[in-house]
Amino acid sequence: MKYKKIVFGLLLVAASFTACTKQLDSLLENPNYPSMSTADVDLYLNSIQISFNSFQNQASSNGAGMSRLSYWGGPKYNNGTTPAGFDGIWTTAYTSIFANVDAMIPLAITQKKYAHSGIARILKAYTLGTLVDQFGDVPYSQAVKGSGNETPAVDKGAAVYAAVISLLDSAIADLKNPASAAAPKVDLYYGGSKANWITFAKTLKLKFYMQERLVVSVKDKVQALITENDLINTDAQSFRFKYSKILQPDSRHPWYGGYNDNGGGGYLSNYFIWKLAAEKWGGDVQVGKTATAVITTGDPRLRYYFYRQNLNLASWANSETEPCYLNSQWGTSTFPAWYPSVPDQTPFCAVGSGYIGRDHGDNSGGPPDGAYVSQVGIYPAAGEFDYNQAKKVTFGMGAGGNGINPIWMSFYTSFLKAEAIEALGVTAPKTSADYFLEGVAGSITKVTGFISEIGYVNTSIPATTLANEAQITNYKTLVSNLYTAASTSSAKIDLIMSEYMIAAWGNGVEPYNNLRRTGSPKNVQLVVGVQAPGLFTRSFYYPSVFVNRNSNAPAQKSGAAANKVFWDNNPDNFIK
């Protein structure tokens, strides 16, 4: 009898358990890993937008060092970078952007959220094209298949570029779809403007067409885009990521991390400082010597780009704090034996008047100079504006880091139009000189207005240290005269790329692409660390996470300099 009761009891428990199981089945989904049917398209898009900015920042950092926009330690091109150094950008692209985009788009289409899918396609297209620009052939058609293909092979760069254009065309169609449902809840770039996203997509088509112009016939396509002119032509259309002053989580501009109580963060590029401070004035630094000096010459952006912690190199430099000083034009000795040659007027060790960075390829070790070397200024990182205060940077100094990542500014488009006229012979409503000056003027307006744009208030800034109309007019006249004096298209393109580089401060992607495509600026500083640095890096090593974990990955590049991307058909020694 007891036995029967036990059996009955077990059956009752089993039945109860089965009933509970059925009731709990709907609760078995992990909220941290939602199914495709419950996934939130807006949350996907939020993640994609944030990851995209991270990707672009990493790509910008890679390109900035090679182009001399930022300091690169070298000293040899083949050992100045390592495969592991590119793991982050690769992982961000494939796992944080592509995987989420490919998962989100079918959901967005099902829900008729075509604006979401259009934006996602655009961000994927930029990311994909930039991977080609930095690494060459990369996985695409077989990528992000999960268990369907865990070892994707690479596609040829030209084929990937074709896919980029296709993605952009599909994005434009999505954004124009009249049946589109609600706009994204969060649009970090354009605040919900589908028209601006369409304009950005068309501008990216122009960018990628111009990028491959050396190996593909693109004149008609470029002509059509310039004729239609639905391009990023105004600052309101510019594509940028806006940072804030928030510390938890840290949402400040990444460059602003140099503003701490332990001294400045890293080095700036002497060559790039020199381009603004001294290149056009025979090597003499054009900056007001005192806080009350009225500035009428020099680049109007100088004090906005760079902040000087000290105004006089001689006041602190010695063999310990700045070893190169005594072997430079500022000291008493000759150049060191390892310095191969000095290109005409380009700097060595320091630029002057307190502008102190580091030379391209100088890896001689870091002396105790953190309190003296120049730092990033108010544009674009929202650091400090330089009004000759010559104070050591500290935590919280300046505007607080609520700057921007200038991914594609309107003046980039102006320079690209000027190049298209000179290089391809396209026709446009304005001349190449007009677009060249439009680009210069647009950059100056943006930079000199940045203090007001981000709401920075500092009553200690003397008005006489801010860029004034006379200085701006004089600079425009100077570059206009240089352009008029350039007798060939090659010489004009060199000026276009030089001013484009100056205007691109904060974005290393475009100067690196421009340098490989055009060889300009032609007077880039040589590597100073060794006499034989090897061939210039024409593409980067494949990331270690790719070549070490993927049996179908190509063999690692024996030397990054020997591997040009598909659109680069220039000679090996085209760039030093």
Share of the chain above pLDDT 90, in %: 75
Q: Do the domain assignments include residue 19?
A: no
Q: Do the domain assignments include residue 269?
A: no
Query: Mean pLDDT score of the chain, rounded to an integer?
Result: 89
DSSP class of 407: E
Q: Please answer whether residues 332 and 326 qualify as being in contact, where contact means their C-beta atoms are separated by less than 8 angstroms.
A: yes
State the CATH number of the domain containing residue 150: 1.25.40.390
d(Cα 41, Cα 150) in Å, to the nearest integer?
25
At 384, list the tokens.
Answer: 């400090």
Q: How crowded is residue 270: how many other Cβ atoms within 10 Å of its Cβ?
A: 27
Q: Do the domain assignments include residue 89?
A: yes
d(Cα 384, Cα 401) in Å, to the nearest integer?
9
Helix residue ranges per DSSP H, 25-81 = 41-67
Q: Do the domain assignments include residue 550?
A: yes
Distances (CA, A) of 36 to 29, 44, 56, 303, 447: 11, 11, 28, 51, 45
Of residues 335 and 386, more confidence is placed in: 386
With H, G, I as helix, E, B as strand and everything else as coil, classify residue 275.
helix
Q: How many domains does the chain have?
A: 1
With H, G, I as helix, E, B as strand and everything else as coil, classify residue 375.
strand
Question: Average of pLDDT values for 156-176?
Answer: 98
pLDDT of residue 63: 98
Q: Do the domain assignments include residue 171?
A: yes
pLDDT of residue 58: 98
Q: Do the domain assignments include residue 107?
A: yes
Of residues 539 and 28, more confidence is placed in: 539
Q: Do the domain assignments include residue 73?
A: yes
* 430-457 pLDDT tens trace: 999 999 999 999 999 999 999 999 999 9
Helix residue ranges per DSSP H, 428-564 = 432-448, 450-453, 469-485, 489-503, 509-518, 544-547
pLDDT of residue 468: 92
Go through 107-138 and write b for each residue having 16 or more CB atoms within 10 A of its CB, e for each that does not: bbeeeebbbbbbbbbbbbbbbbbbbbbbbbbb
* 289-302 pLDDT tens trace: 444 456 788 999 99
pLDDT at 513 over 80: yes
Range of the domain at 79: 38-232+535-576
Q: What is the dihedral of CA 5, 6, 10, 13, to 10 degrees?
A: 60
Which pTM value belongs to this model? 0.92
DSSP class of 255: G
